[in-house]
Amino acid sequence: MVCIRCKIVVKQVLTNLGYHYLIVELGSAEIVENISTPQKEELKAALLKFGLELMDDKKSILMEKIKGVIVELIHYSDEPLKTNFSDYLSKKLAHDYTYLANLFSETEGITIEHYIIKHKIERVKELLVYNELSLTEISYQLHYCNVAHLSNQFKRTTGLTPSHFKQLKAGRREEI
């Protein structure tokens, strides 16, 4: 569960099945009731209808938590990061960063750093299309050290400069 909509869906599924939850966060949910194996299968099937899966093993759960922290920080947080990302992730998940990075690379086939870059670039694209913030404001919001770094990373990832991307998207939009 790596988006806000996923949380809403999980809450809805749990309520529909008659379960009471304490917390539903990105990547996890805490249910009040102890559920039996048949109930777990019913929950698994209900979640699968929405493209979500129930995870039992600790590594899968930790992987979802890593992704959730990254998505939350990049897509839903406007406050500046006061520490480097590896320390932030390590502290937030109460695990050594080296362990988290190795687990992530082994499971996903890419590094945490590349996963973060992919999400940052997607967020930059989204913000460029909205046209509400300048590139300087976007670079600050997404914790880049400067606009040049953001522009270089954007070009390396997409093959376009941010301004060229913005021009392409603006050309496709029609005013009503």
Dihedral sign from CA coordinates of 8, 10, 14, 17: positive
pLDDT at 1 over 50: no
The answer to whether the beta carbons of residues 87 and 97 sit under 8 Å apart is yes
Q: Is the per-residue pLDDT at 80 higher than 80?
A: no
The runs of H, that is alpha helices, within 26-161 are 37-48, 58-76, 85-93, 97-108, 112-130, 135-141, 147-158
The predicted structure's pLDDT at residue 150: 95
Q: Which range, 56-60, 84-88, 166-170, is most confident?
A: 84-88
pTM of the complete model beyond 0.85: no
Q: What is the pLDDT of residues 11-63, one digit of tens each?
A: 999 999 999 988 887 667 888 888 888 988 998 899 889 888 887 778 888 89
Alpha-carbon Rg for the chain, nearest whole angstrom, is 19
pLDDT digits (tens, 9 = 90+) for 123-161: 999 999 888 899 999 998 888 889 999 999 999 999 999
DSSP 18: T
Q: Which residue has the higher pLDDT, 176 or 161?
A: 161
Q: Which amino acid is at 31?
A: I
Taken in order of first residue, the domains within the chain and their CATH numbers are 4-54 (no CATH), 59-172 (1.10.10.60)
Residue 82's pLDDT band (cuts 50, 70, 90): confident
